[in-house]
């Protein structure tokens, strides 16, 4: 019964020992055998080298139970490990960090160069856009001035055409009026001549009675009034 209790305690120690220790250490020998148990009589499970990192998860009689980086577990002598990383490992780690930082710095430098190039490209594009806008503004101004000139020419042309139309209309109207007056004068002259002929014919007719004489005088008087009126009209034309 006592042996069974000791065996159970040993098993529980193996199970929970990792939770007690679980600290990082490093191999301090050129090569070390990781064994299946805490003693040289146990078989070698794996060989680890100087500087390899391990995790201590248990301890027993001068031996540490360790977990390797690949997840395997075994036992190594306490004399073969150290808590601080070896100088070479520290140097290699620092060199790795330096190389990583140099790569990052190189990437940042390239990104900075790319940003400078992009900035220069954007500046060039902005400058081109400003030049194009300036040219467009000048062209727009020139077109406005051209349109103003065109509208001014159109306005002057309209005024000239209006004046010419008024002048020609007045001229044609006056000419038509002169033609009308001339024709009317000719017509009045013909009417006067006809009236004079009729008056002359009436004057040559004989008279037989007082009533006929009176009628003749009235007719001649009427001729005279018509002739006078036509002459007055002709004089006013």
Query: What confidence tier does 207 reach under pLDDT thresholds 50, 70, 90?
Result: low
How far is it, in rounded angstroms, from Cα 234 to Cα 187?
A: 10
In the chain, alpha helices (H): 2-20, 87-204, 210-236
C-alpha dist (Å) from residue 27 to 67, 86, 87, 143:
12, 9, 12, 87
How far is it, in rounded angstroms, from Cα 131 to Cα 127?
A: 6
Q: Comparing 5-19, 58-72, 152-166, 175-189, which segment has the lowest mean pLDDT?
A: 5-19
Q: Which residue has the higher pLDDT, 185 or 42?
A: 42
Assign domain 2-85 to a CATH class: mainly beta
What does the domain layout of the chain look like in residue ranges?
2-85, 179-236
Q: What is the rounded average pLDDT of the residues 207-225?
A: 78
Do the strands 23-27 and 53-60 form a parallel or antiparallel pair, or are they unpaired?
antiparallel
Task: Kindly report the average pLDDT of the chain as a whole number.
Answer: 83
What is the phi-psi region of residue 48: left when phi exceeds 0, alpha when psi lies from -120 to 50, beta otherwise?
beta
pLDDT above 70: residue 6? no
Cβ-proximal residues to 192 (8 Å cutoff; 6+ apart), any chain: 227, 230, 231, 234
Hey, which residues does 63 pair with through a beta bridge? 60, 77
Give which of 68, 62, 75 is closest to 26, Cα–Cα. 68
Predicted TM-score (pTM) above 0.75 = no
Q: What is the rounded average pLDDT of the residues 187-208?
A: 79
pLDDT, residue 48, reads 94
How far is it, in rounded angstroms, from Cα 39 to Cα 22?
A: 20
Q: What is the rounded average pLDDT of the residues 165-193?
A: 82
pLDDT tens figures, 8-53: 444 444 444 444 456 899 999 999 999 999 999 999 999 999 989 9
pLDDT, residue 55, reads 95
Hey, which residues does 66 pair with through a beta bridge? 56, 74
Q: Residue 49 belongs to what H/E stretch?
A: strand 44-49
Contact predicate 55/23, CB 8 Å: yes
Give which of 95, 99, 98, 63 is closest to 81, Cα–Cα. 63
pLDDT, residue 95, reads 87
pLDDT above 90: residue 65? yes
pLDDT above 70: residue 123? yes
Work out the end-to-end distance of the chain between its first and last CA atoms, rounded to an integer number of angstroms. 167
The residue whose two tokens read 């194009």 is 132
pLDDT above 90: residue 54? yes
How far is it, in rounded angstroms, from Cα 38 to Cα 52?
A: 19
Give the three-class secondary structure for 34.
strand
């Amino acid at each position: 019964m006592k042996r069974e209790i000791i065996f159970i305690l040993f098993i529980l120690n193996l199970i929970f020992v990792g939770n007690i220790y679980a600290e990082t250490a490093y191999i301090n020998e050129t090569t070390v055998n990781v064994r299946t148990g805490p003693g040289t009589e146990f078989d070698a499970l794996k060989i680890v080298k100087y500087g390899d990192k391990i995790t201590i998860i248990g301890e027993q009689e001068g031996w540490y139970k360790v977990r390797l980086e690949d997840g395997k577990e075994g036992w190594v002598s306490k004399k073969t490990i150290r808590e601080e990383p070896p100088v070479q490992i520290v140097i290699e780690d620092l060199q790795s960090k330096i190389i990583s930082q140099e790569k990052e710095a190189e990437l940042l430098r390239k990104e900075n160069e790319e940003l400078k190039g992009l900035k220069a490209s954007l500046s060039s594009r902005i400058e081109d856009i400003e030049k194009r806008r300036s040219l467009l503004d000048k062209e727009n101004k020139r077109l406005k001035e051209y349109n103003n000139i065109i509208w001014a020419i159109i306005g002057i042309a309209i005024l000239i055409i209006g004046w010419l139309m008024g002048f020609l209309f007045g001229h044609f109207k006056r000419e038509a009026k002169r033609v009308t007056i001339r024709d009317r004068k000719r017509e009045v002259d013909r009417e006067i001549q006809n009236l004079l002929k009729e008056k002359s014919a009436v004057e040559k007719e004989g008279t037989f009675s007082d009533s006929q004489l009176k009628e003749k005088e009235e007719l001649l008087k009427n001729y005279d009034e018509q002739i006078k009126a036509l002459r007055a009209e002709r004089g006013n034309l």
